[in-house]
Structure 1
């Protein structure tokens, strides 16, 4: 096989998955959508205490290989409610305070969704000599109430999670645009790999564990836990990385990565050389276009969690170039996604033939 295209059914899943909510620490909605889709293509599905989902092909094999993404999206917490019902926030993951003003949000409460907006004083009311930039100390959510009691009565309290409400769209038939492409696009990729294995009748000689981890955005927590549970022999992680052709990005620092030119194969201490070279060999032999990126100390992805867990796990990273990370308009190129799916699918077969 030297080609793969996203089908209409797969695209429907992607849209539903991206539009669902999976804030760090409360990823259950996103996981349900993901597990429901992948269940037709695997032998077994299980979850752990904190919600990491694992779909398994060939579960009785002693050799265990993980392909992994993370499901959690950045968000906010309700941190303080003023007597006038204005809500101040704290981060849940690496939420960008500069993009918050004028964004619509949803507060997740036991009574249901409460809609709100990140307000900001009108330009007419601000003196240029006193101009303030948005930061965590001054951004606030307005939910259209006039008192703290009113906010509490509709279910809002300190600790409620706040997510953005932006939805999925396709731009110019080439780009997927959404919040939480970091890293639900990875969850889509690994689910599609499972689908391809089943539809092509691939007989794996190892146990394939398709892992959708929680809590990556707050320190790779889900991957650390599930690695101890599964104790894999190998892990191939997929995440996103920065498209560096946008304005104000220095390629000398961030690397030379462009949307549309293929998935990105990582170089870092946590990335085991042999598995990386096998992925590169597969890409070259199957004529799958790819890019390269160096991460000097750590990748900042779940790759690091797997590599240094247990007695060490042979780990590699395949990333998707992404524009505008940690905003509500994250963008990935359709061709990069398709090539990443094909590259992982072909790499698994190469491992199947070369190791066993």
Structure 2
């Protein structure tokens, strides 16, 4: 990976981007992608779209989501302790002993998720943490002191953990789900520009908001763009670590390539084009199956605009929704390559219908 790309990846992942409050991360992403697009627009809730060939009638989307799971301040005790509620799929099991940033109008307030020691907990307390039992300590001794810091009900809380490289080949950190997707689609735009590829259609590079609470950003932007084709990238569970059940989650490996999904929301002809592209370009890939829905922004695009040819290219990831989400660098590079090479095989007016 080139140095400039790596530097952007690290800066982008370290920047907080909680669901509903993605603005600063979106600004970073847009600044990076601007040299590789013709124009851009931002919607009401913060989804950013870079456009190449905006005059073209046939529209192709490549998309990732920009938000990360987080917490909201929900209740402040008279002693100054803070209880929270989830913003997205945050896991209370991960929280105890973690350092956090509480985002306020006065700036970041540092805090921790406290937890009583094992030898002082009562039997009835010695249970797995839940959203009702985890609490924040910001060093205050009263509710008034907490509020003087700028903290109030509704303040957003994100984990402090930052990006690192493990064993020279794994990227580790919080919020790789799915800001690393935003990085990958930005790299596709860069490659198209630097390789002087002239696409016969309009390309919409979409970094969507609010996926973690129900694909909301994708729903909004799909209706606005009204694309003909959408290629979505998100993360999918690596199932090799202990406690994963392959019979239900599949047999997927970090380091063995992008994952192509089968399911009702995935348009078969577009999926086959992606698979043939992988074979032709000698890009390793894996397969996964979904049931009624993929659970990703693919669903929002597929069922918009009277039906859009949509497909999902996923990045295998370990330990989803923790602060140590882990992906293999080779998979990141190969997702970028697969999206890039697939775009080069889509024609103007490409008809993906099953029959006509």
TM range (shorter): over 0.9
Aligned to 1:62: 57
The change in CA–CA distance for 1:188 and 1:195 in structure 2 (over 3 A counts) is same
Aligned to 1:263: 258
Shift of 1:128: 4.5
2:58–2:349 Cα contact (<8 Å) kept: no
Aligned residue for 2:236, secondary structure, equals strand
Distance, in Å, in 2 between the alignment partners of 1:218 and 1:109 is: 22
Aligned to 2:167: 172
RMSD over aligned Cα, in angstroms?
1.1
Residue 83 (structure 1) aligned to one of 53, 70, 78:
78
TM-score (norm. length: structure 2): 0.97
Residue 88 (structure 2) aligned to one of 89, 93, 96:
93
Shift of 1:279: 0.2
Per-residue CA shift, 1:98-119, capped at 9, x if unaligned? 0100000000000100000000
- Point out where structure 2 has 5 or more consecutive residues left out of the alignment: 352-356
Aligned to 1:3: none
Aligned to 2:281: 286
Aligned to 1:322: 317
Residue 141 (structure 2) aligned to one of 121, 136, 146:
146
Per-residue CA shift, 1:149-192, capped at 9, x if unaligned? 00001100000000001110001110000100000110010000
Aligned residue for 1:258, secondary structure, equals coil
TM-score (norm. length: structure 1): 0.97
Alignment of 1:6-45 (within 5 A): 6-45=1-40
Distance, in Å, in 2 between the alignment partners of 1:88 and 1:151 is: 12
Distance, in Å, in 2 between the alignment partners of 1:131 and 1:164 is: 24
Distance, in Å, in 2 between the alignment partners of 1:330 and 1:231 is: 33
Distance, in Å, in 2 between the alignment partners of 1:45 and 1:343 is: 24
Distance, in Å, in 1 between the alignment partners of 2:301 and 2:89 is: 21
Distance, in Å, in 2 between the alignment partners of 1:20 and 1:341 is: 22
Per-residue CA shift, 1:124-154, capped at 9, x if unaligned? 2124465122000100000000000000011
Shift of 1:310: 1.8
Distance, in Å, in 1 between the alignment partners of 2:30 and 2:128 is: 41
Aligned to 2:307: 312
Aligned residue for 1:340, secondary structure, equals helix
Distance, in Å, in 2 between the alignment partners of 1:130 and 1:163 is: 26
The change in CA–CA distance for 1:215 and 1:110 in structure 2 (over 3 A counts) is same
Aligned to 1:217: 212
2:58–2:348 Cα contact (<8 Å) kept: no
Shift of 1:206: 0.2
Shift of 1:355: 3.3
Aligned to 2:291: 296
Shift of 1:29: 1.0
Shift of 1:353: 7.8
Per-residue CA shift, 1:285-316, capped at 9, x if unaligned? 11100000001111000000000012011000
Shift of 1:352: 3.5
Distance, in Å, in 2 between the alignment partners of 1:329 and 1:352 is: 40
More displaced, 118-127 or 263-272? 118-127
Q: Which runs of 4+ in 1 moved over 3 A?
A: 127-130, 352-356
Distance, in Å, in 1 between the alignment partners of 2:53 and 2:299 is: 26
Aligned to 1:136: 131
- Point out where structure 1 has 5 or more consecutive residues left out of the alignment: 1-5
Per-residue CA shift, 1:65-122, capped at 9, x if unaligned? 0000000000000000000110000000000110100000000000100000000001
Matched length: 351
